[in-house]
Structure 1
């Protein structure tokens, strides 16, 4: 795995290797969205991963989808994330806070205001969501007005500024995994007939405007974006022109000179090659299900500059040391992935 240990520059950050911590929802924030008691320890334990991309943090009350997910839009949130950023920096790592507006992937019982979720169009996903009273159907969302779309973009701009105020090194815009940005891209979640729906350019517009606003606010070198082309999460169907939407979107995002593009790879190798050819800065690839011995395959094939790691890093705070020494890895406990206390969060053993 010698390719992994070569340095790389991401924006203004000099990294010593080509691994990154993938964003993973852990549902351990306080009810008001302030990062939880153990969050600073959790991220600091994994500082050797170099670039740490946090779990998704909602940029507004309307952006929350899940119980106990963190926010980044109040003074309390900023103070909580500052503790995280300080601990990560003390341990030698860098922190990008992921901005995640859940859109229609939400339930009124999970939000502070208990309002109907918002989305590009009033179409419910055919799925359920955990709430305090158990699994419930995700309700029909309310369609955002043109004015509300602009307010949502402004919310993302303010949240990015709040992340930097908290001491984060940058932010990642969550444009993947079935959440709001992805919903605008997808044909079956976006049936608008105005400037944000229909054509390829219109369905990509929201993503581009959010990325532009965030880059203007905190600098392109501090801004990344995550996309999941062709991945049908959240009951989304991108449509027959989905590849063309991403071809257009990536080409326009490239003009912003962002710090990185983070791809959740769904298995379409030709599409990944096309994205690689079109992207001018750092490309991070997350390839779920790959064998450990192939961790550096995309680096060797020049399909990625960095590979992001989720579950292995969750269960192994010292994953870098284990990979370098060939030591066995801890097994992750899926029953503790979401919610709870320090168990399954900060108590995984290290080699030491």
Structure 2
């Protein structure tokens, strides 16, 4: 294997030891009540500090931003203190960590929001979408999402303020920066994509209008903590959680140009990663590279058992990507960078222990032991 994955890279004021990203993955282990990050999560992330960059699991910015049971927040003093345990543990192991700031919008159920009706760009229910709730056991119980109400101008301003405050809270909690979750069908994606945004005001209709909420949120984040600490995740070609855009190539090339104007430190593209999904068009990747001057991260289907990280190496060597995220491989392989560097076998995870529960399937995966 060539070693482009293992070259250091500058990310704002940071120097990362390699180009491997542990991307955000919901694990639903936060302490209750209060959705507080805890010692178990600190152990989990610290075990994986060999990544050049860790991005935390999605972390809600408010009670109404919560979509699933047992996910952590970052809007109360207890939550900030809980995350400080995590960032301290990661930093002790030489890691760098950003928190992913998350508002799910319509992708929730009142069981997760204290009974409140969800909010979205428009009063359009996501069809055939389920979320999991706490049903009194330690296993997630899946329920349908409900119809949201359309956000008022006051709602929009309030959510922008919540994003801004959460970014400040993240720095207080010891994170090196934040990633704005604008992907996978959640709130910001609901504004961007044409089929989930039916608004007739300045936040809907034209592409410029559909990108306005993204623009204003990123502006608030950059103003609060500096562009060198802000990354954004987009998912141009996924239809996760029911969001569909009529012309994703045009929409997301424009989004990249907008984010470039804010001079954010990185753009993280989540590619469709199910087995028979179409590849992201090469013309699109070339357009994104042309529009965005910062660090470009791609994640999704960059690892196979046969070729390991060969596709990731090629993406970096081609110049189209600067860093690559490996999601599920990091679940069962806390030492994934070492395994990739040495060509060691990569373990597969147990899908039954991804969400909820305790240390089983979270912190009990071993590092690789070469035969004596």
Q: Which runs of 4+ in 1 moved over 6 A?
A: none
Determine the C-alpha separation between the residues in 1 that align with 2:148 and 2:158.
17
CA contact (8 A) 1:298 1:304 kept: yes
Residue 290 (structure 1) shift: 4.4
SS of equivalent residue, structure 2 residue 208: helix
CA contact (8 A) 2:39 2:86 kept: no
Match of 2:185 among 178, 183, 193: 178
Matched, 1:210 2:217: yes
* Equivalent residue, structure 2, for 1:253: 259
Q: CA RMSD in A?
A: 1.2
* Equivalent residue, structure 2, for 1:67: 69
Residue 348 (structure 1) shift: 0.2
SS of equivalent residue, structure 2 residue 258: helix
Determine the C-alpha separation between the residues in 1 that align with 2:25 and 2:133.
19
SS of equivalent residue, structure 1 residue 187: coil
Match of 1:128 among 124, 127, 130: 130
SS of equivalent residue, structure 1 residue 48: coil
SS of equivalent residue, structure 1 residue 299: helix
Compute the TM-score of the two structures, normalised by the length of structure 2: 0.92
Determine the C-alpha separation between the residues in 2 that align with 1:268 and 1:285.
13
Determine the C-alpha separation between the residues in 1 that align with 2:239 and 2:44.
30
* Equivalent residue, structure 2, for 1:79: 81
Determine the C-alpha separation between the residues in 1 that align with 2:25 and 2:94.
20
CA contact (8 A) 2:316 2:323 kept: yes
Query: C-alpha deviations, 1:242-297, integer Å up to 9, x for none?
Result: 32222222111101111100001242221121101111010011123642232322
Aligned length: 350
CA contact (8 A) 1:203 1:245 kept: no
1:24-43 mapped onto 2 (5 Å cutoff): 24-31=25-32, 32-43=34-45
SS of equivalent residue, structure 1 residue 251: helix
Matched, 1:303 2:304: no
* Equivalent residue, structure 1, for 2:347: 330
SS of equivalent residue, structure 2 residue 69: coil
* Equivalent residue, structure 1, for 2:229: 222
Structure 2, gaps ≥5 residues long:
136-140, 273-279
* Equivalent residue, structure 2, for 1:281: 294
Query: C-alpha deviations, 1:12-51, integer Å up to 9, x for none?
Result: 1101211111110001112311113400000000001121
CA contact (8 A) 1:48 1:320 kept: yes
* Equivalent residue, structure 2, for 1:88: 90
Determine the C-alpha separation between the residues in 2 that align with 1:346 and 1:310.
16
* Equivalent residue, structure 1, for 2:285: 272
Query: C-alpha deviations, 1:73-128, integer Å up to 9, x for none?
Result: 110010000000000000000110000100000111012x2211111111111122
SS of equivalent residue, structure 1 residue 49: coil
Query: C-alpha deviations, 1:306-331, integer Å up to 9, x for none?
Result: 00111111110111111122111121
Compute the TM-score of the two structures, normalised by the length of structure 1: 0.97
SS of equivalent residue, structure 1 residue 47: coil
